Amino acid sequence: MSDVDRTEEERIRDAELMRQESRYWWIFLVTGAFWLLFSVAVFRFEWSTVSSISILFGVVMIAAAAEEVLRVPGASTGWKIAHAALAVAFVVIGVVSFIHPGNTFAALAGVMSFYFVVSGFFDVFAALSSRGTEGWWLRLAAGIAELLLGFWAAGDFGHKTILLVVWVGAAALARGITQLVFAFALRSAKSASLP
């Protein structure tokens, strides 16, 4: 929907919602920095078993679910539903990876591929719906990268534990980038709304 097609009431409502959310831009900056540091930690440690990687991935999913829950109160009605559904999906994925942490490479790769596809689709959709805002293309690129990683994980290439580590680290890295982009977009909206 272009700006021409939108009513004045919708533009005012969206501007008010963005102004309310922009007060909390720093929360997304902090969580984005946390995700980036976490991704570096994942790549630095020696994860030698599928079991330990599965537990690590479960922790990442529960943290991602908590982050989505924090986004619900500041979102519009449609986005509240989307963030809540994404949080539920992340909790389910996290619980599945905790239930049988010793599962095979194929099972964990399947769970990870489901995460990447769901998260990537959400990020692509959110980026396309916010076209024209600052940094929307960066979220689009991160979403496309997540989708590609999802299909790669589903393809079960190589049966190597190191690939699982790369996928967990990539998930945290993509999450950090999208959080930082969102934080600076909110900050720029806050600056633009000041009198």
| 47-98 pLDDT per residue, tens | 666 677 778 888 888 988 988 888 787 777 787 888 899 899 889 888 888 8
* Residue 99 pLDDT exceeds 90: no
Length of the chain: 195
Is 179 part of any domain?
A: yes
**Residue 69: inside a domain:** yes
Does residue 1 form part of some domain?
no
Question: 111, 94, 95, 109: which is closest to 162 by C-alpha?
Answer: 109
Domain extent, residue 163, equals 8-193
- Rounded CA separation 141/120 (Å): 9
* 36 belongs to a structural domain: yes
pLDDT for residue 91: 92
- Residue 29 included in any domain: yes
Looking at residue 88, what is its pLDDT? 93
Predicted pLDDT at 184: 82
H or E stretch at 61: helix 50-71
**Is it the case that residue 5 has pLDDT exceeding 90?**
no
Amino acid identity, position 111: V
For the cut 70, the answer to whether the pLDDT of residue 163 exceeds it is: yes
The neighbour count for residue 106, using CB atoms within 10 Å, is 12
Query: Which pLDDT does position 110 carry in this prediction?
Result: 76
CA distances from 125 to 9, 11, 76, 128, 131 (A): 23, 20, 15, 5, 10
SS3 label, residue 159: coil
pLDDT in tens, 109-137: 777 788 888 888 988 988 888 787 767 78
Residue 52: helix, strand or coil by DSSP? helix
101 domain-assigned: yes
**4, pLDDT greater than 60:** no
Rounded to 5 degrees, what angle do the CA atoms 125, 56, 95 make?
Answer: 70
Inter-CA distances, 65 with 6, 22, 72, 75, 96, Å: 32, 21, 11, 15, 14
| Counted domains in the chain | 1
Higher pLDDT, 115 or 100: 115
Q: What is the mean pLDDT of residues 28-50?
A: 81
Residue 1 pLDDT class (50, 70, 90 cuts) = very low
- For residue 2, tell me if it sits in a domain: no
